[in-house]
Structure 1
Amino acid sequence: MRPAVFLLAAIVLAGCGAFKGDVDKTAGWSAERLYKEAHSEVSDGNWKEARTHLEALESRYPFGGYAQQALIELAYVNWRDDEPEQALAAIDRFQQQYPNHEGTDYMLYLKGLITFTPPSAAFTKITRQDPSERDPKGLRESYEAFNELIKRYPDSRYTDDAKKRVAWLVSTLADNEVHVAQYYYERHAYLAAINRAQTVITDFQGVPAAEKALYIMYMSYDKLNMPELRDDAKRVLDKNFPNSKYYKQGLNEPKSAWNPMNWL
């Protein structure tokens, strides 16, 4: 019986040793210490450790200044650690809990940045795909966040950069509408093509894509045998874009030789 007792004792001791390894080293830490440690990990780029401390801070001390700052830091950490969904979730919690917080302008800016370059953009560095050809959902979310920042916080330190990004987003979203309009035109859905092209004219004034949008409208009205509307579209096209290139080249844009997909 004695060997069995020794064996049981050894198993118990081994189990105790295993439990010791699972002990939370941050147990009992103050909110201040958790935040300082998390901030230090952020400075060193240790996103996983920073996230652990910030999540502990948020759950243990849900009230007070450190909890508010923890959410801001948590959104940033998740963004830098390629966790956009978690970053957006942190921003949503922050906006719901602290709608008038002085850091709201930064959170709107960060939200715009997160959706400004969606994960699908990484492959386009190789294929040279036009961003406007991607799903515009992320681009629209980015536009809305930056636009809200510009309207609510015109004097924010982030507003100037947001304005530059909005200008790019407007142009890219207009390009997307033109891509869709061309898609419909090439499938003989001329009314749908006209509607999407018209969106570019009415919602994105002054963008380069307006030239192609007007040409699609001109061609679509011609296919529908609507000469008056066709001539109206042509008149606007000629006035704003004299000698438009689309009269010669048609709808298809020259493709980049750098895009491997073009070699297939």
Structure 2
Amino acid sequence: MPSFFKKLTIILCLSFLLQACSYFSNDKNTKGDNYAGWTVEQFIAEGKENLADEKYKKAIKVFEQLDSRYPFGPHSAQTQLDLTYAYYKNGDSEAALASADRFIKTHPRHKNVDYAYYLKALVNFNRDLGFLDRYVPSDSTQRDSVFTQNAYLSFDELIRRFPNSQYVADAKQRMISLKNSLARHELHIARFYMDREAYLAAANRANYILQHYQQTPAVPYALELQIKAYKILGLQDLADNSAKIYAYNYPDGPQYPEADSSGVTVVPFIWRLLSFDD
């Protein structure tokens, strides 16, 4: 019997302890809720002020609170856009993309839905900026081009869906830059194959540039590489045809450098560590 009372006492003590912990935890959360009683207008004003001051983490917190506490109303669409922008500026790429997609699905006919598509493209346009780009000048075209491709497709989708959007002009300029980067990435791969004496693969990669990236600075360099590869392979007729094309279009050599190399330090050993499939 004493043993039973001991067990009962322990159970009751634990029960009271758990209730006390729950009480203090809830009390702490209540006291720590800096937004208790805030109106929609207060949230919007605070969030906008944080955005203006470039305090993106604080803006994210405020807009997330607004979105969770007041999910419906005339403010909800703009809140989602502001939150997407804050994610983007804070470098939260995945959150920004998810937020933009949410807006597009929730408000497909909204007057500012083109801005959501534009933000998606900007996220991909900037998300490839890693340690090397921020702290060590490097050639980003030597790395994986998946983000560049996604950005190009996103800008292209924006232009197709909203040809009259105010963001089209900027999107077109960015697409030119992205296309040049994609072409140069392919050129790096072709040169990699040449260094590995995979001459047919190098020639084919150069031909891919000529077919898909016309009017980019990489074209004459791709032709030069293709001519060299064909000659090594003993394909003189193909080499002569490429040489004629080169002579006709670039009688004085390439008109532009393949990329602006100012301030860029290429890190060749990184490229040599990589391998590619044809």
TM range (shorter): 0.7 to 0.9
Q: CA RMSD in A?
A: 3.1
CA distance in 1, matches of 2:133, 2:120: 22
Letter of the 2:265 counterpart: N
- For residue 161 of structure 1, the aligned residue among 161, 166, 170 is 170
Residue 49 of structure 2 is matched in structure 1 by: 40
CA distance in 2, matches of 1:221, 1:22: 72
In 2 relative to 1, CA 25–258 (structure 1 residues): closer, same or farther, beyond 3 Å? closer
- Structure 1, unpaired ranges of 5+: 1-11, 246-252
Residue 155 of structure 2 is matched in structure 1 by: 146
Matched, 1:171 2:190: no
Q: Is this contact kept in 2: 1:68–1:94, CA < 8 A?
A: yes
Q: Deviations over 1:137-173 (max 9, x none)?
A: 1111111121222222222222211111111111111
CA distance in 1, matches of 2:249, 2:72: 57
In 2 relative to 1, CA 130–108 (structure 1 residues): closer, same or farther, beyond 3 Å? same
CA distance in 2, matches of 1:37, 1:63: 19
How far has the Cα of 1:181 moved from its partner? Answer: 1.0
Q: Deviations over 1:203-226 (max 9, x none)?
A: 111111001111121122222222
Matched, 1:113 2:127: no
- For residue 203 of structure 1, the aligned residue among 197, 200, 212 is 212
Relative to the length of structure 2, the TM-score reads 0.76
Residue 64 of structure 2 is matched in structure 1 by: 55
- Structure 2, unpaired ranges of 5+: 1-18, 269-278
CA distance in 1, matches of 2:252, 2:206: 20
CA distance in 2, matches of 1:216, 1:235: 14
Letter of the 1:207 counterpart: T
CA distance in 2, matches of 1:113, 1:260: 25
Q: Is this contact kept in 1: 2:138–2:266, CA < 8 A?
A: no
Q: Give SS of 2:182's match.
A: helix
Q: Is this contact kept in 1: 2:137–2:263, CA < 8 A?
A: no
Letter of the 2:94 counterpart: E
CA distance in 2, matches of 1:257, 1:109: 29
CA distance in 2, matches of 1:256, 1:43: 33
Q: Give SS of 2:215's match.
A: coil
Matched, 1:22 2:29: yes
